[in-house]
Amino acid sequence: MTILFSSPATRAYEKVRARMVSEQLQPRGVTDPAVLAAMNRVPRHCFVDDALQSQAYGDFSLPIGEGQTISQPYVVALMTQLLGLTGKETVLEIGTGSGYQTAILAALAERVYTVERIKALHARARRVFDKLHIFNLLCKIDDGTLGWPEHGPYDAIIVTAAGPSVPEPLVAQLADPGVMVIPVGERGNQKLVMIRKQDGEVMEEIVEDVKFVSLIGDHGW
């Protein structure tokens, strides 16, 4: 895997990324060294519009068009840390969005499959992946609530939009053992839920309050 995270354009933000890690992530309990390293390397500014690049490392979400957002760095890091990736996993992401979370996953997993329902966001993310030489992933346009059964089961699944409940197709495509992280709840008010499948049992744990855009699809809103 070759990921081009070091170029004059990306190095210009190195100090800002380092502050993001030390001031936003570590004080809030993000301690996984691999996750912190990925957050320190992946150029978040490449995944937002040029006019917003100066704000890319702020402690907040940003609009990416089509009524969607790029999550704040802490939320991206937290959700990634909950997956417990070691570099050998096959990961399914529902909601490619800007592609930033996808790039973080690609830096930590063996293979990433990502599904996006909005064509414009899908196309833009693919251009950024190519620019950064991120090739250990496959993306498609589809209803993410249905998952991507052809490549399952998945060691880890991450959902970057909130639905009223956990989509059953995603639970079915989760490996045993496996872990899923998904925001669940009402529009504008959700809980981040970690789901573990172990020995045929599915266990849920509420992590914290979050606010995500809505998960649209047959098993969403």
Candidates 49, 75, 58, 56; CA nearest to 95 is 75
- 61 annotated active-site: no
For the chain, the average pLDDT equals 95
4 pLDDT exceeds 90? Answer: no
Please name the residue that has the structure tokens 């993410």: 144
Candidates 11, 38, 15, 147; CA nearest to 91 is 147
Domain extents in the chain = 8-210
pLDDT at site 1: 44
Read off the pLDDT of residues 130-152 as tens digits, 9 standing for 90 and up: 999 999 999 999 999 999 999 99
Please name the residue that has the structure tokens 């912190």: 36
| Average pLDDT rounded to a whole number, residues 204-220 | 96
Round to whole Å and give the CA distance between 36 and 22: 9
Q: Which CATH class is domain 8-210?
A: alpha beta
| Average pLDDT rounded to a whole number, residues 27-48 | 97
First to last CA, the chain: 36
pLDDT at site 12: 75
Residue 138 pairs in a beta bridge with 113
2 pLDDT exceeds 50? Answer: no
**What tokens does 41 get?**
């390397």
Continuous segment of H or E residues that includes residue 39: helix 33-41
Instruction: Say how many residues make up the chain.
Output: 221
Read off the pLDDT of residues 150-189 as tens digits, 9 standing for 90 and up: 999 999 999 999 999 999 999 999 999 999 999 999 998 9
Identify the three-state secondary structure at position 140. strand
pLDDT at site 188: 81
Round to whole Å and give the CA distance between 184 and 199: 24
Query: Which of these is catalytic: 6, 61, 71, 165?
Result: 71
Read off the pLDDT of residues 43-98 as tens digits, 9 standing for 90 and up: 999 999 999 999 999 999 999 999 999 999 999 999 999 999 999 999 999 999 99
Round to whole Å and give the CA distance between 132 and 116: 19
Q: What predicted TM-score, i.e. pTM, was given to this entire model?
A: 0.94
Query: Half-sphere exposure of 139 toward its Cβ, with a 13 Å CA cutoff?
Result: 28
pLDDT at site 109: 98
| Average pLDDT rounded to a whole number, residues 36-41 | 97
Asked whether the CA dihedral 17, 10, 3, 121 is positive or negative, the reply is positive
